[in-house]
């Protein structure tokens, strides 16, 4: 069973002759797509984006640990609860990994690889039934043995002069990190929303959990700029842009270099070089964009928006206003890139 503060909780099931109803928590704040439409210039502030992105990362990390690849992250699927925190919803496109036995632990000693940009996770699996999970993988981090604070309990290996005797690792100390995400699974399914599809899905090369980090990059870009990065005149052009067009940032609004670097790292077209491809959410949570985020106390953070007490009349009016202001029905303004 899934149990996480940023995921839906099933309270009950009711069945009739024609319907099966699932009872879950009501989210009076609507979804982030509608909420974005209400913001000045239809985009969130960077601090608000950091808040929502952090909670999405926490939710994705959890479902990855449950051997689930989400595959449909977009603002429409992120709801705002009564307390202003998020709920990730709509799992109809998700992939449940085969819970096979854990693979032997493997070691990564390249510090560049640990950043999630240069490590190649090779696998011959190309169908959902062929899974190579990394659900019990201890990875050793060189030179960080003295750091004790981390989101998960871990061990520091030491011996002799501080390194591992007889090993080729540096003597500065090694840190074991438990990676519980299926970073190496592969599926050939073509699923998702066009503007959020990862290049490996479009090209049919097979995909794994790294697609969720690509969609996180598109998600952050859209919240910051009010547009998605590769949208074309039609769906065919959008898919072509995803595969071949270089990432560009609009001139307006001004966005921090840390935010741009996060998006650039997540939108690496090569999934093996994408941030999070090697150790999952751990690499993303260490990115400078999330500096200052207390991951252990996300639920205690102050949300940028708390919905007013729910009323049927207000909800009906808000839904009507959202329909009239949707991106597809309103003339947009040209976006200038550089």
Q: For residue 138, give the 3-state DSSP assignment.
A: strand
Highest mean pLDDT, choosing among 87-91, 181-185, 190-194: 87-91
Q: Sort 331 into a burial class: Cβ within 10 Å, 0-12 / 13-18 / 19+.
A: exposed
Catalytic site residue 3?
A: no
In this prediction, residues 67-89 reach a mean pLDDT of 95
User: What are the boundaries of each domain within the chain?
Assistant: 12-100+184-307
pLDDT digits (tens, 9 = 90+) for 82-109: 999 999 999 988 888 765 544 433 344 4
CA distance 210 to 277: 5
Question: Which architecture does CATH list for 12-100+184-307?
Answer: Orthogonal Bundle (1.10)
Query: What's the pTM?
Result: 0.70
In this prediction, residues 301-325 reach a mean pLDDT of 81
Greater pLDDT, 76 or 177: 76
pLDDT digits (tens, 9 = 90+) for 218-270: 999 999 999 999 999 999 999 999 999 999 999 999 999 999 999 999 999 99
Catalytic residue among 72, 270, 323, 326: 72
Beta strands in the chain (DSSP E): 12-15, 20-23, 68-69, 78-80, 86-88, 95-96, 137-142, 156-157, 174-179
């Amino acid at each position: 069973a899934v149990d996480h503060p940023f995921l839906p909780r099933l309270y009950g099931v009711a069945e009739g002759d024609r319907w099966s109803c699932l009872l879950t928590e009501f989210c009076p704040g609507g979804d982030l797509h509608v909420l974005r439409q209400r913001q000045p210039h239809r985009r969130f502030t960077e601090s608000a984006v950091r808040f929502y992105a952090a909670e999405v990362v926490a939710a994705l990390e959890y479902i990855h640990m449950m051997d689930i690849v989400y595959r449909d992250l977009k603002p429409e699927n992120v709801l705002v609860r009564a307390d202003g925190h998020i709920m990730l919803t709509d799992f109809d496109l998700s992939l449940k990994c085969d819970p096979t036995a854990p693979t032997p632990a493997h070691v990564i000693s390249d510090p560049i690889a640990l950043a999630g940009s240069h490590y190649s996770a090779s696998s011959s699996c190309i169908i959902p039934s062929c899974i190579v999970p990394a659900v019990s993988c201890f990875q050793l981090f060189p030179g960080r043995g003295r750091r004790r604070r981390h989101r998960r309990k871990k061990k520091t290996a030491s011996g002799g002069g501080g390194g591992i005797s007889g090993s080729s690792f540096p003597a500065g100390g090694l840190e074991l990190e438990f990676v519980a995400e299926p970073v190496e699974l592969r599926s050939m399914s073509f699923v998702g929303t066009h503007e959020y599809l990862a290049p490996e899905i479009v090209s049919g090369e097979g995909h794994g959990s790294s697609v969720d980090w690509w969609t996180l990059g598109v998600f952050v870009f859209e919240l910051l700029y009010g547009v998605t990065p590769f949208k074309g005149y039609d769906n065919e052009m959008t898919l072509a842009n995803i595969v071949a067009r270089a990432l560009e940032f609009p001139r307006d609004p001004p966005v921090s270099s840390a935010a741009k670097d996060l998006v650039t790292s997540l939108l690496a077209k090569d999934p093996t070089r994408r941030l999070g491809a090697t150790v999952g959410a751990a690499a993303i949570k260490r990115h400078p964009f999330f500096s200052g985020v207390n991951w252990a106390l996300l639920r205690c953070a102050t949300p940028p928006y708390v919905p007013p007490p729910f009323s049927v009349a207000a909800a009906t009016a808000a839904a009507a206003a959202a329909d009239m202001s949707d991106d597809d029905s309103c003339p947009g303004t040209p976006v200038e890139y550089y």
